Structure 1
Amino acid sequence: MASATRNAGRRPAARRRAAGRRRWTAALGGLALLAGAAALAAPARATPAASAPVDFATRCVPPPIAGIPPINGTTTAEITVDNAAPKVGDAVTVTYRVTKPAASNPVDLALPADIMTPTGKVTIGGAQTGALTVAGPKKNPPVPGKGEFPPFAMTGTFTVTAAGSITLSPGDYNIHTSYIMELDTPCAVSSPPAPVSSTIVASERPGANERAISLGTASGKPGERVTVTGTAFTPLADVTVAGRAGGAETADKMTVRTDAAGGFTARLKVNSKGTSGVVAYEGSSWSADKGAGPAAYTVVDDTPVPGNSQQLTASVVAGTLSMTQAGDAVRLSAVNFGAGGAATGDLQKVTVRDFRGGPAGWSLTGKVTDFTGPGGRIEAGKLGWTPACATETGSPSTCVPGSAGTVGSAGATLASTPNGTVTGGEFAVDAKVSLDVPAFTPPGAYTGVLTLTLT
């Protein structure tokens, strides 16, 4: 799902949004399948995969003073997070908990309490890759000679830089002891990476069009000029300032150039008696991404009212762009182990309402995470859809379904309406979905999260 560019040096939030792109993100959770003959069960809400303990082969090297060879054993560990559904830019605190270390006290000497300091690495994969350094406190119960090392936990924090499914796997760790002498017992994953212990699902942080305009006065007679002040536009760019009558521009229009800070001041002459607002935008035509307004403006009709008459005036107030969905869980059909094939279903219907009264259309896009389950994962690129949409009678715009094809983690368009002189209306959007399940996928429920964004 796309985001607007944030320009440096823009003004505080109270002055940011005369208008701009709005986004709604909805998680249609539980695009799930059961690889087997049983019926499919999806979760009630879309949630990231829960953490789970994993076992992995480990090679630990005791301190040379111990005089013993490396230990090839098994580590049991689990990774948990403080935020399983972050947005891009959020910090996520990760806890790497080793419940059963592969190493033990290599010497006959008992170790007292609080002399062990663990450190380690967490492998980050999926939509974002890297290695996170984690560390634990110097805290432990007494360890008898040649006794097993006790469980320990290490924490670290990383910043989410990409939207999608992000996996966390335990990595190498080291046990440092400070008693009589400083000793290390490093333990490495024998066949990296270790199994995934936790998966988080990150969503994009909605961008903001911070361009804004303000008017020197809210009304005037036909032919009078109104002072229009703009902020947070692109520096040294041409900006069109125009009158708006409902969703259509009037002939009252002029072009100004912004200063080095992205600001401008214009004196727009308003002749049209039907003018209800003023807009400003970069480019050859109105765009919600690069425009601001409409700022309300009323032309005071000074035409004399005939005797024994009354002049009546009615106002139409602009609304918003919004969407709702009929539910947040989708059940796909089951497939048989060994055969694989298409797990199919229908998206929950989405209703889009465009009551802005402007010239901008809208676009509804979606992208999906990998499907995770007891046997591993099914790649996001295996999910495809055939979109459909219908336009309610009387709507000025006409809904256009997206193309049939792959959804994947990169995303695809579910439906849209074009820009026009007058746009708006109510629209019903849905899609047939199909997940291509590889043959011999281990039985179990596999769940992915489809995120929809309306712009």
Structure 2
Amino acid sequence: MASASRNPAVRRPSPRRRRGPRRWTAALGAVALIAGTAALTAPANAQATDRTTAQSTAQSTAQATDRTTDRTTASKAVDFATRCVPPPIAGIPPVNGTTTARISVDTSAPKVGDTVTVTYQVTKPAAGNPVDLALPADIMTPTGEVAIGGAQSGKLSVTGPKKNPPVPGKGEFPSFSMTGTFKVTAAGAITLSPGDYNIHTSYIMELDTPCTVSNPPAPVSETVTATGGPGANERAITLATSSGRPGDRVTVTGTGFTALTGITLAGRAGAAQTADKLTFTSGADGGFTGRLKVNDRATTGIVAYEGASWSSSKGAGPVAYTVTDDTPVPGNSQKLTASVTAGTLSMSQAGESVALSSVDYGTGGGADGDLRTVTVKDYRGGAAGWSLTGKVTDFTGPGTIDAGKLRWVPACTTKEGSPSTCAAGSEGAVGSEGATLASAPNGTRTGGEFTVDARMSLKVPAFTAPGEYSGVLTLTLT
């Protein structure tokens, strides 16, 4: 938000109004920052000194950051129209302003599958301090989004540290930076544009000032060029039937393979390849249809791959296939058969509530606790794996603690004898969008029993209003 001296939407009250009721002034005194509260009043000369010092510090920091950015990437600063909405307690209408920002990356030439670190630096926010009261240092925590376009699309969430120089009365907000990562999934030019951002303040009250791009998307600030062919997750095969007698042919359809390259269809028995095999060349679009003759009774799945031997990076499958035993019964004999009935994929948990540890007002920190143990049972007996994810709501009480402040460190144990092996999800924030707690991959034969745990910590800001807060963590097994 622009300062009151430059934006007609935030005007200082006239002398006549100053002599009347002071409701407007009191409201701004309660919200000295459009996203902050209750700043202390300093003498006029101290305010002027703070203003000069803070502006000098902010300018020096921005210039140093710009010089570093220029040395590491060819990104460019862009301007875009922004609409900032102050907290309702401020009693100020939304203000339309201009944001100047820059996107930079740690590598401008990644390969498909690489992880790229992105920095979103707001060098000149559209929001500013609308009143004469100065704001203290280190009360602002920025979050935002980066728009991904070109060869792949999506939105990347970025966050910044809780750090800022003092903000003088009627002064501009200082520059700030936010970072995040994304995985490259497609070759080609990938564009990065600044997106919406939010300024959260922790000063007596927890308040937010969301700023949105008025005419999205904002101009492109950075472009990375990714190289590499299609990944294994882009190759896929389907079977016309899931079973057959020895000697039958099964039709296999493939997509996402490299165009006009050698393809092998083969039978699999666990991790080993069986005698069933067929080679040919893929089509100009990377697709194919082949008919594999299956003779080997040991075959339990079918794979397709490029090159001379199986590679998970250039293959697809295995997809389950059953060879039906039609061996004739000798004379004076009886053929005995038994069946195994497929079960279900299910989960259970050791409780429905977790009491996190308490934190002190004014200090804040981690409210820690352990997830109630979750047991996953995969008794389906097929080739499909599973994924256990979780998402959490905001924690509500006397105030609100953002869902993104809940982090976990997952752990997963596989019961002995299980065909599958589970993998714990990554350490990090859970949030309202969710994160993976544990998973097991697809395979020729999957299943088993698994125990899932997690160490959890809710990062409570220092001056969160005292009281009890609660949120709901929802787990989903697919």
TM value normalised by structure 1? 0.46
Higher RCO by CA contacts (8 Å cutoff, separation 6 or greater): 1
TM value normalised by structure 2? 0.44
